[in-house]
Structure 1
Amino acid sequence: MTATVHSLRQDTPSLQPLMALVAPGLNNVNRVILDRMQSQVALIPELAGHLISGGGKRLRPMLTLGCAAALDYAGDRHHKLAAAVEFIHTATLLHDDVVDGSDLRRGRATANTIWGNEASVLVGDFLFSRAFELMVEDGSLKVLKLLSNASAVIAEGEVHQLTAQRVVETTEERYLQIIQAKTAALFSAACAIAAVVAERDQATEDSLEAYGRNLGIAFQLVDDAIDYVSDAQTMGKDTGDDFRDGKVTLPVILAYARGDEAARKFWQRAMTGRANGETELAEAVQRLNDTGGIADTMARARLYGSRAIDALSRLPSSVAKSALVETVKFAIQRAY
Structure 2
Amino acid sequence: MSFRIRPAHPDDFDSIYEMAKLTGGGFTNLPADKGTLVEKLARSELAFDKVEEVQGSDCFIFVLEDPREKLIRGTCQVFGKVGTSQAFYSYHLSTLTQWSPELGKTFRNQMLTLTTDLEGSSEVGGLFLHPHLRAGGWGMLLARSRYLFIKAHRQRFGDRLLAELRGVMDEAGNSPFWDALAGRFFDMTFPEADGFNAVNGTQFIADLMPKTPIYVSLLPDSAKSVMGQPHPSGRAALRMLQEEGLTFDRYVDIFDGGPTVTAPTDQVRTIREAGEETVTEIGGEPGKTKVLLAAGRLREFRCARAEVRKTGRKGISISQETADLLEIGVGAKVLMVGR
Higher helix share: 1
From the two aligned structures, give the one with the greater strand fraction. 2
Please give the TM-score of this superposition, normalised by the length of structure 2: 0.27
TM-score, normalised by the number of residues in structure 1: 0.27
